[in-house]
Amino acid sequence: MIGAAREIIRERGYHAMSLAEVVERSAAPRGSLYYHFPQGKQQIAAETAGIHAGEQLAEIRRLADAATSPADLISGYVNRARDGMVASGYGRGCAIAPLVAETSAELSEASRLGFTRIIETIAFQLIVLGLGNAAALELAHAVIAGVQGAEVTSRALRGPEPFEAVRGVLVARAQVHPEGP
């Protein structure tokens, strides 16, 4: 059910997600939806954001293990986002971003926590790869802001150019930051 909710949110946003469609896509019995998610749509969306963030953290760690520099990590992360967007036919974005504008405290907290965890993980990995603490945190914020903006713009333009531009600017920035704490 989480997987089905995640795909719907990534494709069409939180408001377009109906519990009936989650049940249909997941092929789960309707009763199990209310058993596992007694608080309904907000609960499943909040848990979806947490799982999406967790998958992002694993991907960042995998990319960092293969990287030899901060620029490698950033390039890999932006490329992964670009490749996912292209593979989806420019139809699938982030599962956390659509929750940011929601007025529910639960969804607001889920999106804040998800993005915070992702930013902190990128910053940590950039530090491991040689950037100083302040530079790593600044660049991690820029990476997430850039990728999120590229996802929106790329969907609108139906092309990968926003990712290419973001990657170029962020990689160049990573190469001019001082090393060490």
* pLDDT tens digits, 88-105: 999 988 888 888 887 788
On the question of pLDDT at 67 being above 50, the answer is yes
- What's the CA gap between 136 and 122, in Å, rounded? 8
Percent helix, strand and coil across the chain, each rounded to 5? Answer: 75, 0, 25
- In the DSSP assignment, the letter for residue 28 is -
pTM given for the model: 0.88
- Most confident region among 13-27, 44-58, 91-105 by mean pLDDT: 44-58
Quick one: pLDDT band at residue 177, thresholds 50, 70, 90?
Answer: low
